[in-house]
Structure 1
Amino acid sequence: MTDPGSRYAEAARRSRLVTTEDGRVHAVLPIRFVPPTSGWYRHTVIEGDRLDLLAARYYGRADRFWLIADANPGVDPEDLLTPGARITVPPDRAG
């Protein structure tokens, strides 16, 4: 039973029954997909980090490295990847 005010209330209405190998029956909820966040990240640089690798990690596309560089104005590019530095990684609004 799910509380009617719960964020899972709609999902509970779409639940289905599943029988396990031992014969027990369970009501299961469908997968609730969460959209990507639009927030900003703070990344602590470690040895070996590169902007293209960070872009691939955060955006799934290495060619978005410039978003990270642009989000850190006033930081010399030579210092941007100093181990221990905390840099800003913005959301990917480049589309």
Structure 2
Amino acid sequence: MDPQAHVIPSDIEKPVPIMFWEPIEFVMALSLMGFGIVMNLWVFGMVSGGLVLVGSRYLKRGAKQGAMQHLLWSMGVMLDQPLKTKFPQPWMRDFIE
């Protein structure tokens, strides 16, 4: 029995980078560039997309893995009013059998 054959790497769920950036950063920058092109403000789109790619490196220093995804998820939950009003709070559902 070889114990090395059953070792699970610690970074098994780490996202595969796209040109040195995480996929969420790359998609955000690409969508900003696309919005700039569609609205005929391509200079603004390219600059804002570039700022996202360059600035994300400084913003995620010291942050835990998945912090950006959690921030985007929480912003979406905060923007969706029916999600707040139509469903019970999470701590109310914890003890329902």
Higher relative contact order (CA 8 A, sep 6+): 1
In proportion to residue count, which structure has more strand?
1
The structure with the greater share of residues assigned to helix is 2
Under a length normalisation based on structure 1, what TM-score does the superposition of the two structures give? 0.22
- What TM-score comes out, normalization by structure 2 length? 0.22
